[in-house]
Amino acid sequence: MTDDIIMRGRKINRVGGISDQVVRSADDSSLVETSIYGEDAIRGNQFSFSVAAVTLPVNAATLASKMGLYNPANSGIFVEILEISAHYVVATTVVNALGLYVSQGSNATGATFTTPATTTLNARVGEGPAGIATAYSAVTHVGTPALVDIVGGWGAVTDSGSGAIYKTYGLSTGRRILLPPASLLAVAMTTAAGTGSGFTASLAWRELPYFSM
């Protein structure tokens, strides 16, 4: 059980001013989880999914994605990407990069959703609720998805991918990726399809209330 203590402090923003901030403390006066990401995880609002041993395609028109994340139209949420980790266990055949791509509007809602991922987990593993966004291990886009971010890459034909790629997003990094309703995210190669069934990766996100501009 925790108590709420009201603490007055000066809020730093464009207009200045004083605002109240709620700080949560435990019975022994220690502070409870204060990170917004930690709080989301405790509340069961963080999720992840993974793919293993797949041949990741290169981004192109009507991309047949092997790793997709869909925020449905009228979902009422933003999907915020938190982190991605990826590993290649076979030698690459071309200098290649790994990217996050997105389709939106009718190009997202009109996609062919073939196979929902069976690896989706809540951060509260085994007991957290299901999220609103759906992960897919097979989904075909309409049109050509747009590049959102380069996650990392392999810089030589002999690079076996022995070093995993890992990238985080969010407040601490200064880079946030928020997917509004009717958005379909894909993880794909930028230059050529990956070699063999050697790609394994995990993607994490949280879900936030949506508001329009």
Q: What angle do CA 186, 122, 211 make, to 5 degrees?
A: 65
Tell me which residue of 211, 177, 202, 213 sits closest to 79, measured CA to CA: 177
Paired sense of beta strands 68-71 and 121-122, if any = unpaired
Percent of the chain at pLDDT exceeding 90: 59
Supply the pTM of this predicted model: 0.81
Domain boundaries, the chain: 1-32, 46-209
Tell me which residue of 174, 177, 184, 172 sits closest to 205, measured CA to CA: 177
pLDDT tens per residue, range 119-161? 999 999 999 999 999 999 999 999 999 999 999 987 766 665 5
The residue type of 26 is: A
pLDDT tens per residue, range 20-42? 555 555 566 555 555 677 788 88
Top pLDDT among 165 and 133 is at 133
| Residue-level pLDDT at 159 | 64
